Amino acid sequence: MVAALAMAFSTGSASNAEEKTDDVVVPQATSYVGDTCGSANNRYCLRLHYGPYNSTTRTATGSCHVTNRSSIPNHWGVIQGTEIVRYVFRADLNGYGCGHVEGNGYALSAAVASYRNVDCKAHQIYAGTSGQGHSQMLGIGAVGALNSGVLRKNNSTYAQGGCG
């Protein structure tokens, strides 16, 4: 079953077909999510961008994934019941600079180059899943490029503290 799940993860298939392996049905229904932020119109979110940070205009560029979840232990995605949910960058998200086409639809895992944190809490981004490996603190109100330890190596994010 592990091999079948690994195959389902690696294919990223958007079909609703199921594969039967050793009498185990492995779901392959996949959805692609670029917005895990619960804030109305994405007003208070951490934006993770595909494109680089532009120091001249002080902006993060490219499509983005927005979040304000306390954690995303695996930027690859999650399995929710019978559905595989993949985290991706989107250009068509509400507000705040996610309108760039560069990176639209690309997987979030190991692809973030820049960020803008307009959430009410800091976030720590890690190279490994589940908060492991090199990391970088993304402070409240901060915008910038990821450091070399996590640049295009990101695999998990954890919020630090709460909103007060």
* Residue 58 located in a structural domain: yes
Average pLDDT over residues 66-89: 89
Residue 98 has pLDDT above 90, yes or no: no
Q: What is the pTM of this model?
A: 0.79
* Residue 106 located in a structural domain: yes
Give the domain range for residue 131. 33-76+87-160
Number of domains in the chain: 1
Nearest to 34 by CA among 70, 60, 7, 72: 72
Handedness of CA 101, 146, 115, 70 (dihedral sign): positive
106-135 per-position pLDDT tens digit: 999 999 999 999 888 999 999 999 999 999
- The residue ranges of DSSP E strands in 88-146, in sequence order, are 114-117, 122-126, 135-138, 143-145
CATH code (residue 99)? 2.60.20.10
* Residue 81 located in a structural domain: no
149-164 per-position pLDDT tens digit: 999 999 999 999 877 6
Q: Pick the residue with more confidence: 25 or 109? A: 109
